[in-house]
């Protein structure tokens, strides 16, 4: 069984995800936000205002997940929704903007810690491969 698990791409990727997620959650705990919410804040910082569908597309998450994230962030006064006709647009509130240094710091710490846990050479070399694999699975999985 163990041989099967270690030959399985699914198991390997899932194991990597669980371990990285565990480290990320520990580092993000002081921010009061999960790492995935931090990514959303960085996205809004860069683009200033985005539609929920663009957020879903960019973060590669389901629209229902985006809605859940945004509802929670809105309740915490981190994001605000602007409605224009049948469209809505999301941006950071002043409080959300004030959290950015802490969020950016957490991501820097996370990258540093992950590179320390996995040699920087491996980390730098493997990131593009992992992203390419994810994109291929997404594209070919649609067919």
Render each residue's pLDDT in the chain as its tens digit; 143 residues: 777 777 888 888 888 889 999 999 999 999 999 999 999 999 999 999 999 999 999 999 999 999 999 999 999 999 999 999 999 999 999 999 999 999 999 999 999 998 888 876 666 777 787 778 777 877 777 66
Q: Write the burial class of residue 142 (CB in 10 Å: 0-12 exposed, 13-18 middle, 19+ buried).
A: exposed
Helix, coil or strand: residue 85? coil
Q: Are 43 and 58 within 8 A, CB to CB?
A: yes
Residues 6+ apart with CB under 8 A from 42: 100, 103, 104, 107
Quote the pLDDT of residue 123. 67
Per-residue tokens: 14: 């899932």
Rounded to an integer, what distance in angstroms lies between the CA atom of residue 55 and that of residue 81? 13
Nearest Cα neighbor of 28 from 20, 18, 38 is: 38
């Amino acid at each position: 069984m163990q041989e099967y698990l270690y030959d399985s791409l699914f198991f390997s990727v899932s194991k990597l995800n669980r371990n990285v997620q565990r480290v990320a959650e520990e580092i993000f705990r002081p921010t009061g936000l999960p790492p995935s919410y931090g990514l959303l804040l960085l996205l809004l910082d860069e683009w200033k205002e985005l539609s929920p569908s663009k957020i879903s597309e960019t973060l590669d998450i389901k629209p229902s997940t985006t809605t859940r994230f945004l509802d929670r962030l809105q309740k915490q006064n981190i994001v605000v929704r602007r409605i224009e006709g049948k469209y809505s647009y999301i941006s950071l509130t002043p409080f959300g903007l004030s959290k950015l240094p802490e969020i950016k710091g957490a991501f820097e710490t996370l990258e540093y810690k992950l590179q320390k846990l996995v040699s920087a050479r491996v980390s730098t070399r493997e990131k593009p491969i992992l992203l390419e694999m994810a994109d291929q699975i997404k594209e070919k999985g649609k067919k």
